[in-house]
Amino acid sequence: MSRYDSRSGDPTSYRDRRSDSGFGGASAYDGSVRSSSSRRDYDGAEPPRKLDLDGLTPFEKNFYIESPLVAAMSDAEVEDYRRRREITVEGRDVPKPVNSFRDIGFPDYVLQEITKAGFVEPTAIQAQGWPMALKGRDLIGIAETGSGKTLAYLLPAIVHVNAQPILAPGDGPIVLVLAPTRELAVQIQQEAAKFGASSRIKNTCIYGGVPKGPQVRDLQKGVEIVIATPGRLIDMLESNHTNLRRVTYLVLDEADRMLDMGFEPQIRKIVSQIRPDRQTLYWSATWPKEVEQLARQFLYNPYKVVIGSADLKANHAIRQHVNIVSESQKYNKLVKLLEDIMDGSRILIFMDTKKGCDQITRQLRMDGWPTLSIHGDKSQAERDWVLSEFKAGKSPIMTATDVAARGLGMHIPLFSILCLCCSF
Ligand code: ADP
Ligand code: MG
């Protein structure tokens, strides 16, 4: 029986599932005991919590071996690198960032996938997030949309899975990724399939709005990685189609959006079924106070890595223009802007009030601009319809209150949305 010891100093000792599909990895319990018993509260603000691990089979979660090149980086070099890539870190014993894919010590079959994808270097969140995640510690990773967060947690997840005993019949997943929407879950699954294929890791996506049969069959066959939206997952748990007893690596992706969408009770319910010494990782583009509060309840002694400004709200790729005009000039200015930018792309106009939305929509329509409006006084059915007309381009202009600030399910590169903030 091959035993994996993360502190052996030999990066080639990642277990390769392709050549050895037997038991391995979970024996180095001293590592997880040590990291678990020294686990502290969030930022030292609360007294240390003791984890009740009675009756739980030990598992390995620290796989990080610093490469000699990374180890040789001086403190000044590390600082310089972080400054250059706008990396801010918090936590105890933060590992140094890595410069290249080679330095992280991923197994060859993962590196081959990276090369195949044509990636040149780790993104900032990957450069700092990978060593953190591979150390088996809890983690909060904040970086703007499109910055490569998915692989920042998926590649360490693959290493994690490959070091665990293989699934027995009836076992649930080892890695659970929670995501707020079906679209996002599917995107994550595509990355998981691409980068996990070479180590024969199976995954499935569990989300609502489609028949359960195929999802149930996948779960029953046994999958190492489950990517799920909370509601359908709870459904599957309650009907005993899967269980979370084997989960040792938990990811909450777009944690901010999940909270925004009111998923907190579901998340709480799901997390309560997962062993307490799991590794938990949060990923988000923004980090509002409420997210921090939720994080405190489910994380132990986490690292935190933020790329760019911590209160970053907007994607840096979005150019922002501010025009200050008097109340009476606003409508004319808006029409001028529309004349300049109407090119078939969608235009979203945010308004302060529902009344403002209705007024400006009426006015624009009278002046021949194809405009519809969504706000809180409209029924869900009408909002859905308006949104579909907007998405399809039949009504390329939409006015909205902040009901539309989140969860439109549209990605800016596809739709080139322009936002104008107006209060009429
Ligand atoms: P986020 O979750 O931060 O919004 P994604 O993980 O969806 O971003 O990544 C956005 C895109 O960048 C994806 O197409 C992904 O394959 C690609 N990507 C990830 N890592 C790298 C990298 N190191 N170099 C180049 N592209 C990358
Ligand atoms: Mg993402």
Residues lining ligand 1, Cβ inside 6 A:
119, 122-123, 126, 143, 145-151
If one residue of 119, 155, 283 were mutated to test the ligand 1 pocket, choosing by the most ligand atoms within 8 A of its CB, it would be 119
Mutation probe of ligand 1 site: the residue of 125, 150, 414 with most atoms within 8 A of C-beta: 150
In this prediction the pTM is 0.69
Residue 377's pLDDT band (cuts 50, 70, 90): confident
Q: Who's near 167: CB < 8 A, 6+ residues apart? A: 174, 222, 224, 246
Q: Which ligand is nearest to the CA of 145?
A: 1
Domain locations in the chain?
Answer: 68-307, 327-419
Over 90: is that where the pLDDT of 380 sits?
no
Instruction: Provide the pairing of β-strand 347-351 with 303-307.
Output: unpaired
Q: What does the block give as tokens for 252? A: 């909450």
Distance 205 CA to ligand 2 centre (A): 15
- 353: which strand partners? none
Q: Does the domain spanning 68-307 belong to CATH 3.40.50.300?
A: yes
Q: Which ligand is nearest to the CA of 185?
A: 2
Q: Give the span between the Cα atoms of 349 and 165, in whole angstroms.
A: 53
The pLDDT value given to residue 241: 97
User: 186 C-alpha vs ligand 2 centroid, how far in Å?
Assistant: 11
Q: Is the dihedral of CA 269, 275, 276, 280 positive or negative?
A: negative
For the cut 70, the answer to whether the pLDDT of residue 316 exceeds it is no
Ligand 1 centroid–CA 152 distance in Å is 9
CA proximity to 364, closest of 401, 330, 323, 320? 330
Name the strand (E) or helix (H) holding 89.
strand 87-90
User: Nearest C-alpha to atom 2 of ligand 1 is from which residue?
Assistant: 149
The neighbour count for residue 127, using CB atoms within 10 Å, is 26
CA of 151 to the centre of ligand 1 (A): 7
**319 confidence band (pLDDT: 50, 70, 90):** low
What pLDDT is recorded for position 43? 42
State which amino acid sits at residue 230.
P
State which of 100, 102, 116, 123 you would mutate to test the pocket of ligand 1, scoring each by most atoms of that ligand within 8 A of its C-beta.
123
Domain 68-307 and domain 327-419, same fold? Reply is yes
pLDDT of residue 34: 29
Q: Which fold has domain 327-419?
A: Rossmann fold (3.40.50)
Q: Which of 27 and 98 is assigned the larger pLDDT?
A: 98
The pLDDT tens digits of the residues spanning 221-240 come to 999 999 999 999 999 999 99
**Which residues have CB less than 5 Å away from ligand 2 (the ion)?**
149
User: Phi first, then psi: what are they for 307, rounded to 5°?
Assistant: -105, 125
Asked if the model's pLDDT at residue 11 lies above 50, the reply is no
* C-alpha count within 13 angstroms, C-beta hemisphere, residue 118: 0
pLDDT, tens digit (0-9, with 9 covering 90-100), for 237-265: 999 999 999 999 999 999 888 877 889 89
C-alpha span between 34 and 136 (Å, rounded)? 12
